[in-house]
Amino acid sequence: MRVFVNRKSVIQYSEMSKIILNKPTLITLYGFPGSGKTNFSRQLCDLISAAHVQGDRIRYELFEQPRHDKQENEVVTHLMSYMAEEFLNAGISVVFDINAMRLSQRRNLRELARKSRAAQLLIWLQIDAESAYLRGKTRDRRRNDDKYAVPLERPVFDNQINHMQNPNNEDYVVISGKHTFNAQRSAVMKKLYDLKLVSGDIANSNLIKPGLVNLIPNIVGGRVDTSRRNIVIR
């Protein structure tokens, strides 16, 4: 087995001009294959100081022809959990980039965070199944976020979503798998603030600001003076 994650390099990369959470945090993900988990994880790790522990990359390194079956998933998750625990114990936050699809899996991850005295955040990326399937089917390894992924055929996709268990009585934040990262970031930063993991100033600076709003209708020939400047709400 090749070792492809160097802790020192991840630390150096993560700490350069990024938000450092008030406490090491295990960030886990839930959502259909193709919901945008890896794309979101990469951009989140560009924003906050965290190690990106990527399931697709580990699977790519371990298995020449991934089957995405139960046994293979257990191997990948076990290795990811080991790596995440090492990072958390070293005081480094982790984005756990794999679909935490089962209640038992998420329970184990919460226990891992508790043992490491780390905070835990579950992010649910929501998207309709057909859009997620089309994304998964057309994965292209020439794209950065698809480099270690394989296209998912319909039977594999259907099997995965049929075994998913939605969060139940769990603390999580919902973001749209179809939104841009800027919109997703707002929801996540608000949740991080609620968990006391970032300050109010940091949270506010990462919220979407309202754009320009024209409060004067474009009426031609009426009583409204269209030569007036638009009103800007800040």
Domain range list for the chain: 7-205
CATH class of 7-205: alpha beta
d(CA 133, CA 121): 26
Q: Which stretches of the chain drop beneath a pLDDT of 50? A: 1-14, 212-234
User: Which pair of tokens denotes residue 82?
Assistant: 């080991």
d(CA 100, CA 34): 14
- Whether 61 contacts 25, CB under 8 Å: no
- Name residue 173's beta-bridge partners: 123
Three-state DSSP state, 194 = helix
